Structure 1
Amino acid sequence: MARARINDEDGWAALRAAIGAEDAAETAGNPDAAVVNPDAGAASVASVDRPTLSLAVHFSLQLLAEKAPGNTLEVRVPPFAVVQCVEGPRHTRGTPPNVVETDAATWLALASGSIGWDDAVASGAVQASGTRADLRDQLPLV
């Protein structure tokens, strides 16, 4: 069963709390309105409660799926959420051939732009496998 769409107001509030943004966009269509505090980083994520962190991860993955619709790449942020995105060949059974997996703090840092894709992959904070396991062109989301 598909998860219900998170409304923008709740999603942006959770994302603001989790990434230390001082001013978040009112809608997903205006991500330039979010001002991220680059010093917040993992400390901000660690300071939010688990339901808020979960909502922030779910909402940011929802933004990713809206920005890059498709079923070629599976993005996993355990234990919170998983989403399929990026146009291309559809995956239907078994282990997906294109997977990106990371923890919540790293994912939100990527989504906010406080860490770059190449740096996160090089550091080992992101595991990316498959020929289409690259989110460089989709990030940051806010």
Structure 2
Amino acid sequence: MDAMPVILDKDLTRGRSAFEQWKEAARMEHDPRTADPALPRPVKAMAVRFSLHLLEQKAPGPGVEVRVAPWGAVKILDGPASDPHNLTPPDVIELDPDVWLRLASGITSWAEEKEAGHITAVGERDDLSDLLPLY
């Protein structure tokens, strides 16, 4: 059974717009490095889903699961797939939505967010800095 996509094809244009809207709002904040723009929940959700889609396209594979709760998770990079009994890959990265969007848009770096304690990562491949920003 195939996994459900993080965003539907029909929502890609809306997703790109939401991601751009989030980036613009974040850059307008006093300190973009701690950006958490007060945007409507559906806009943030769509921005997260679209950016996760971009990550999945950039580095497809079953080896690392990137979770941005509550709006999405994708599996990326080559490596061992999930254990059939567990369904969780050996490498898991969890991020809050605004942390993920700051990283995806290039406002902050992986090292900055990791040092600040904003990234939870388990496994050998716990650094996505080579994949970010997304564009």
TM-score (norm 1): 0.79
C-alpha distance in 2, partners of 1:140/1:18? 14
Q: What amino acid maps onto 2:9 in structure 1?
A: R
Whether the 8 Å CA contact 2:80–2:90 is kept in 1: the answer is no
Determine whether 1:113 maps to 2:117. no
Match of 1:89 in 2: 80
Deviation string 1:29-74 (CA, Å, 9 cap, x unpaired) is xxxxxxx83757355x432111111000000000000000001000
Determine whether 1:46 maps to 2:46. no
Match of 1:79 in 2: 70
Determine whether 1:123 maps to 2:104. no
TM-score (norm 2): 0.83
Determine whether 1:68 maps to 2:59. yes
2:15 aligned to 4, 11, 17, which one? 11
Match of 1:138 in 2: 131
Whether the 8 Å CA contact 1:72–1:89 is kept in 2: the answer is yes
Question: What 5-or-longer segments of structure 1 have no aligned partner?
Answer: 22-35
C-alpha distance in 2, partners of 1:125/1:100? 11
Q: What amino acid maps onto 2:122 in structure 1?
A: S
Equivalenced residues, count: 127
Q: What amino acid maps onto 1:102 in structure 2?
A: L
Question: What 5-or-longer segments of structure 2 have no aligned partner?
Answer: none
Deviation string 1:94-141 (CA, Å, 9 cap, x unpaired) is 133101101000000000011100111111101111001221110001
Deviates more, 1:95-104 or 1:12-21: 12-21
C-alpha distance in 2, partners of 1:38/1:131? 36
- Report percent identity of matched pairs: 38
The Cα RMSD (Å) is: 2.1
